[in-house]
Structure 1
Amino acid sequence: MTSQPAATSETATDHDADAGAGTVRHRIAVVGGTGPQGKGLGYRFARGGHDVVLGSRAADKAEAVAAEVADRLVGVEGAGTVTGATNADACAGADLVLLAVPWDGHDELVATLPLAGTTVISCVNPLAFDKRGAHGLVIDGGEGSAAESAQRIVGDSATVVGAFHNVSAVSLWGDDDVLAHEDVLVVGDVKEAKETVMALCASVTGRPGIDAGKLRLARQVEPLTAVLISINRRYKIHSSIKVTGF
């Protein structure tokens, strides 16, 4: 794969800069790529010029969804490729792996994936629903999150970064060239991996993501999605996060 110098996001000026210049072309595996969130992010990443493999438990299902995404990219200048495979096969050869799977069964699935040497992006939101609506689940007695669970499972073989938790699947699959009305919060413990994911956010919003702190702050970012779901249901909209002050 060819590449150009990587974009960084060290200052407010960089955050507002044109993120389309100086980006690296990644091979991205989307585990759970046939669900609304995985399909939508896969579409945005490919639209931004990255090569995407949508993963699923069944290869034929992944291939069908990949064909649907590829059809939407016809005529998009500079778009990357989109293919489908099983979750494990999708990870083979990828440098970035997005986890877009339900919390139920998350740990068991992550343990089976070949993730060594990759940067793993978790957008998993451990949520539950009852008569009062959506709410965040308490993970490890309040001292854990889906992202931290993934990091514990992969150990030192891979680096986990949390991002894209609060982006609406409906907006991702929408017609806007980029989702300029929202920001992506990025959390992680390894600076280089976090900067890679922040640069990738430009495929979605048109600008780098926002460094929101260490990986443990996924404990706050993940359940925030339940708040947005509540807003959406109350006002019949697709709400998002926008950070001001830059």
Structure 2
Amino acid sequence: MTTYRIAVIGGTGPQGKGLGYRFARGGHTVVLGSRAAEKAEATAAEVTERLAGVEGAGTVTGATNADACGEADLVLLAVPYDGHDELVASLPLAGKVVISCVNPLAFDKRGAHGLVIDGGEGSAAESAQRLQPEATVVGAFHHVSAVTLWGDADFLDGEDILVVGDKAEAKEQVMELAASVTGRPGIDSGKLRLARQLEPLTAVLISINRKYKTHSGIRIHGV
């Protein structure tokens, strides 16, 4: 298995911290990013403590978002959609494979629902690609629960990671990385534009979670 140096932008939030933990469990080197380096370093210390005794675990450190990107092979965007475009535009991402797990959602009295991006002809992942044309953006990890990621299971082996993107080599890297989370490669789910369907699907899982008091995920049969 190839091991990567992975920057997690928004690494102090529940999703970023959980994915960073899973990547490090899989032997990858992880740099958690935040607007404040001190906050990132504190979260990195928490993840490092959680990794004690995990054989073959990678190291986890903290840095500012921009510094985290510096030597990274892969950059994961795990940030809220609010302020997404401004942050993504500011990062040094040229030439890098960028993974977006950003879900543009809104909440009202009826529950969670997906935001309409660019009149229905866009997504957070496509916005990242437009803002960083010299990067290669792949959409993945939209549907894994932060609670489950931080849980005790060795792998989330009841779930699948759906991966979308326009460049086969980048998708292959991310599909391989998914094995750190589920124990098996991710599933090639089509072109980047299909992030328009994957991102708002998270609202359906949130609705299921509220109804059944669980942390649901996605599993694909027949593949």
Question: TM tier, shorter chain?
Answer: over 0.9
Asked if 1:242 corresponds to 2:186, the answer is: no
SS in 2 for 1:245: coil
Mapping for residues 192-207 of structure 1, pairs under 5 Å:
192-207=169-184
In structure 2, the residue matched to 1:228 is 205
**Residue identity matched to 1:91:** C
Supply the RMSD in Å over aligned alpha carbons: 0.4
Cα distance between partner residues in 2 of 1:134 and 1:43:
27
Cα distance between partner residues in 1 of 2:154 and 2:47:
15
Runs of at least 5 residues in structure 1 that lack an aligned partner in the other structure:
1-22
Mapping for residues 178-189 of structure 1, pairs under 5 Å:
178-189=155-166
Q: CA deviation at 1:206?
A: 0.1
Q: CA deviation at 1:116?
A: 1.2
Cα distance between partner residues in 1 of 2:52 and 2:217:
28
Structure 1 residue runs of 4 or more that deviate by more than 4 Å after TM superposition: none
Contact 1:95 1:117 in 2 (8 A): no
SS in 1 for 2:132: helix
Alignment TM-score, normalising by the size of structure 2: 0.99
2:120 to 139, 142, 145: 142
Asked if 1:159 corresponds to 2:156, the answer is: no
Q: CA deviation at 1:195?
A: 0.5
Contact 1:187 1:214 in 2 (8 A): yes
Cα distance between partner residues in 1 of 2:53 and 2:182:
20
| Per-residue Cα deviation, 1:87-130 (whole angstroms, up to 9, x for no partner) | 00000000100000000110000011011111000000000000
Cα distance between partner residues in 1 of 2:126 and 2:5:
24
SS in 2 for 1:164: coil
Cα distance between partner residues in 1 of 2:2 and 2:95:
17
2:7 to 14, 29, 44: 29
In structure 1, the residue matched to 2:107 is 129
Cα distance between partner residues in 2 of 1:184 and 1:55:
23
SS in 1 for 2:72: coil
In structure 1, the residue matched to 2:168 is 191
| Per-residue Cα deviation, 1:38-83 (whole angstroms, up to 9, x for no partner) | 0000000000000000000000000000000000111111100000
In structure 1, the residue matched to 2:196 is 219
Runs of at least 5 residues in structure 2 that lack an aligned partner in the other structure:
none
In structure 2, the residue matched to 1:73 is 51
**Residue identity matched to 2:172:** E
**Residue identity matched to 2:65:** N
In structure 1, the residue matched to 2:24 is 46
Cα distance between partner residues in 2 of 1:114 and 1:43:
23
Cα distance between partner residues in 1 of 2:89 and 2:62:
21
SS in 2 for 1:103: coil
Q: CA deviation at 1:137?
A: 0.1
Asked if 1:61 corresponds to 2:39, the answer is: yes
Cα distance between partner residues in 1 of 2:199 and 2:123:
8
Contact 1:115 1:154 in 2 (8 A): yes
Alignment TM-score, normalising by the size of structure 1: 0.90
Cα distance between partner residues in 1 of 2:184 and 2:65:
29
